[in-house]
Structure 1
Amino acid sequence: MEKWMRPANQTGNRWVTARRVITFPRRPLVMGILNVTPDSFSDGGLYLDPDRAVARAHQIVQEGADLLDIGGESTRPGADPVPAEVELDRIGPVLERLRGTIGIPISVDTYKPEVARVALEQGAEIVNDVSGGQWEPDLWEVIVHYQAGYVLTHSRGKPKIMQELAQYTNVVEEVKEFLAAQLRHLEARGLSRDHVVCDVGFGFGKNSEHNCTLLAHLDQFSDLGRPLLVGLSRKSFLKKIAGTGSLSVCTRAAEVWAAAHGARIWRVHEVADAVCASRLLGAVAGEVPEERKTW
């Protein structure tokens, strides 16, 4: 458990966003998910109404999340894309009403430069890009201009066809090579590495075997020199293992494993449960509750 019991210099211990510097504690940070969509795989349609979305955002904060990730387009495998205007219609009113009312950093889950630009103007400070810079070349220009925090994710193909492209010779090495190359390209464009965290992209162009292999070898990604974010919450490969009834338990187990092997951020639906698990890891590592927030 030593990997999460002390900050690891080789994976970086700070994340610079458009508005602050996040210093990582010993426990994993919890990023709460707010999907303002009709078709997300887990909570589609629950928070399309801005009033309900804003209420859920405040609930996520009250439950102890360290970050809030808002998305207006489902990127589940098989999903159809939506125009930027639709995405903005969904998340814009929520961001406007949240601005200045919550203290934790807001991330916007998008790959579209128009959406990222508006969100960053409205108070978001992180862009969570499932495309890893592959789908919209102008997105990185926006990230660099605002010097935003950035989640660099590995994926293969857009959601409609990504599972058809789940073919690898060595999934760990190929994902790591992609992330390393994109980190170099980002630096060349003007975004220093301390603005970036990496995500291996569980479920994005990967089958169950690929996902389990990545989870088993997550510690190998410490070579990238950046913190890792994992999005394991309610993923289908965990459902195949646990079934629907025990999916939450399986998710927590996978997240704790990930933390023990280098993950510094959990992206989750069930915020309260994840916060309890994270606080337990922090307590075992010797952190006291007052140290939970580090910015």
Structure 2
Amino acid sequence: MKVNKLKNLLRPNHTNVMGIINVTPDSFYANSRVNELELLNRVEQMIKDGVEIIDIGGESTRPGADPVPLEEEIKRVVPAVKMIRKHFDIPISVDTYKAEVAKLSLEEGADIINDISALRMDERMINIVSYYKCPIIIMHMKGTPKTMQQNPQYDNVVGEIIDFFKERIEYLKSCGIEEIIIDPGIGFGKTLQHNLEILNKIDEFRVLGQPILIGASRKSMIGMILDKPPEERLNGTLAITAYCTLHNVEIVRVHDVRENVEVVKVIEAIKGVKQ
């Protein structure tokens, strides 16, 4: 049922809004952080605002971030998944690269795993995703969150990311994993120019034949363009969401659900997409 729900969600020419919920004390945008008392109210408001997928993260992956111990991430994420699933019928994505966090979250009702390492940082993750037959979001990242922004370099950023995904997709499919969403990894081992080139050439990723996710909400690339802190980057985020909607990107991962949903609705109305 969960897999069919996702297939129905990714309907042609529609951009889904994925809402970010961080059960962390240190994610780069403070308003994305929630504690246990705030969690259900935040999810309920996101649903009222039109969110289509909830993405729960228990470890900050901002540039320079240190990893979180496994037990601490489990303590943050798994109860949150359980609580949301108990009260709401909304697709839940879990942002983790740790197999045990993924396994326990899927057992509590999560639908999707969102792995910034593209299933490279924990060798057990492939077995978990294959066993539970859940959709997987694989992201491109050069280095680790701790080191990724230390002078990242590419000869051809889009070509190299596409080659990376070709290898990953072929390997994952050989392991029985079929439902794969690709995330080029805005801000994960990329300069501003790299990020702009990825977005400028987003249609080139269609050669991979997989749905695309873009996560640029309030990120530093917007801050560099507008010279504004995370709290003042909503307009820049909405510009990227409009651009992604024009290019039929399947999912945008954002902090501000209502505003992004409204942008998607207006752009899709102009395009003639049925609501």
TM-score, normalised to structure 2, is 0.93
1:108-153 residue CA offsets vs partner (Å, 9 max, x unmatched) = 0000000000000001010001111221111111000000111011
Q: Which of the pair has the greater relative contact order for Cα pairs under 8 Å at 6+ separation? A: 1
Report what 1:266 is aligned to.
Answer: 252
1:55 deviation in Å? 1.6
- Distance in 2 (alpha carbons) for counterparts of 1:68 and 1:281: 22
Letter in 2 for 1:24: R
How many matched pairs? 271
1:20 deviation in Å? 5.0
1:223-269 residue CA offsets vs partner (Å, 9 max, x unmatched) = 00011100010110111111327521111112221232341111000
- Distance in 1 (alpha carbons) for counterparts of 2:91 and 2:151: 34
Residues 1:72 and 2:67 are matched in the alignment: no
Does the Cα contact within 8 Å between 2:192 and 2:221 map onto a contact in 1? yes
Q: Greater shift after overlay, 205-214 or 105-114?
A: 205-214
1:83/1:181 Cα in 2 relative to 1: closer, same or farther (>3 Å)? same
Select 1:176's aligned residue among 144, 150, 162. Answer: 162
Q: Helix, strand or coil: the match of 1:164?
A: coil
Residues 1:97 and 2:83 are matched in the alignment: yes
Q: Greater shift after overlay, 270-279 or 19-28?
A: 19-28
Does the Cα contact within 8 Å between 1:99 and 1:123 map onto a contact in 2? yes
Question: Where in structure 2 are the equivalents of 1:77-226 lying within 5 Å?
Answer: 77-164=63-150, 166-192=152-178, 195-226=179-210
Select 1:278's aligned residue among 260, 264, 269. Answer: 264
1:203 deviation in Å? 0.4
1:44 deviation in Å? 6.8
Report what 1:43 is aligned to.
Answer: 30
Letter in 1 for 2:11: F
| Percent of aligned pairs with the same amino acid | 38
Question: Where in structure 2 are the equivalents of 1:54-65 lying within 5 Å?
Answer: 54-65=40-51
- Distance in 2 (alpha carbons) for counterparts of 1:228 and 1:20: 14
Report what 1:30 is aligned to.
Answer: 17
Letter in 2 for 1:174: E
1:261/1:83 Cα in 2 relative to 1: closer, same or farther (>3 Å)? same
Q: Greater shift after overlay, 236-245 or 64-73?
A: 236-245
Question: What runs of 5+ residues in structure 1 fail to find an aligned partner?
Answer: 1-15, 290-295
- Distance in 2 (alpha carbons) for counterparts of 1:241 and 1:105: 33
Does the Cα contact within 8 Å between 2:141 and 2:188 map onto a contact in 1? yes
Question: What runs of 5+ residues in structure 2 fail to find an aligned partner?
Answer: none
TM-score, normalised to structure 1, is 0.87
Q: Helix, strand or coil: the match of 1:98?
A: helix
Does the Cα contact within 8 Å between 2:27 and 2:33 map onto a contact in 1? no
Q: Greater shift after overlay, 255-264 or 128-137?
A: 255-264
1:19 deviation in Å? 6.2
Select 2:225's aligned residue among 241, 247, 263. Answer: 241
Q: Helix, strand or coil: the match of 1:263?
A: coil
1:34 deviation in Å? 0.2
1:173-225 residue CA offsets vs partner (Å, 9 max, x unmatched) = 00010011100000011112xx1111100000111111111111111001000
Letter in 2 for 1:111: Y
Letter in 2 for 1:260: L
Report what 1:11 is aligned to.
Answer: none
1:92 deviation in Å? 2.0
